[in-house]
Amino acid sequence: MFFPFRNLLDFYREAYWAITDFSFYRLILDQPWRKTLLYLLYLCAHIALLLAITYAWHYADDFSRFAQWAQNNFPSLKVKNGELSIDGPQPVIRRYEGGQSITFVFDTTGKYPSPDGFVQPVFVLTRRNISFRYEGQTQSHAWSEFGGGFELNPSLLHEFERFVKLAYFPVAYSFLLIYHMLAKSFTAIFVSTFALFSAARYGVRLPFRSTFTLGLYGLTPAIVIALAVTATGIYISYFYAIYLAIAAIYTFMATARSVGVE
């Protein structure tokens, strides 16, 4: 049975050549769909794994701190028949001082019917709805939108924290894998138009299979840079435009090297 990547080393070689050697693209110009799609699978599997680890690295401590804080500061509450009830005296106002400070207001008395007047971001939980206000924008949802009802107390919050920690990697990895399989496919299709333009300069008309392959492999250097930026946690304005530009330039130049007469 034909299997184009007999081990991970084969994939790493191709990813390395896709970044460092434009002449490599001539070798993949006519490769079969199954090898291209397998490269996509390997590529997205690595993206999903690295992002899942990166997000855990950046946010796991913040999540644990918030979960512990919520267990110690949130009142016990219950939503039933579209109405919220809270144990103890009200209103209860708590502010979490973490990486992002957040205000929580628990009030079924009607004293604070909206987030107006509170430092943003702020959540206001009233008898019939929950409202969130951030950067001047307010969203409000009735409790009836959340189904039949639920309870929340320190014990349940602790169980939820444990569940999230156990479920994070399989859920996050699966979601990221599926998302990036789709996202990178559509991005490769977009970038493949630059392969068409490049080949047209030499009077060559490439089939979609070839342009998609060139676009996908041409994404590799942009993906590596994007992963490095995500790992550092640095925010770069308009980075997605830079990401696309890198992929487009790589694809254009790689195509020219593949179809041009030397």
Q: Identify the pLDDT of residue 217.
A: 97
pTM for this one?
Answer: 0.82
Residue 92: CB atoms within 10 A of its CB come to 17
Q: Identify the pLDDT of residue 206.
A: 92
Sheet holding 102-106, edge to edge: 92-96, 102-106, 122-125, 129-134, 137-142
Q: Identify the pLDDT of residue 6.
A: 59
95-100 contact pairs (CB < 8 A, 24+): 95/119, 96/66, 96/69, 96/70, 98/62, 98/65, 98/66, 98/69, 99/62
For residue 203, what is the enclosing H or E element? none
Q: Identify the pLDDT of residue 259.
A: 86
Q: Identify the pLDDT of residue 230.
A: 92
Q: Mean pLDDT in each 10-residue stretch from start to end of the chain (262 residues)?
A: 62 94 92 93 96 93 92 92 88 89 92 88 93 90 84 91 93 97 97 93 91 96 95 87 95 90 48
Q: Identify the pLDDT of residue 2.
A: 44
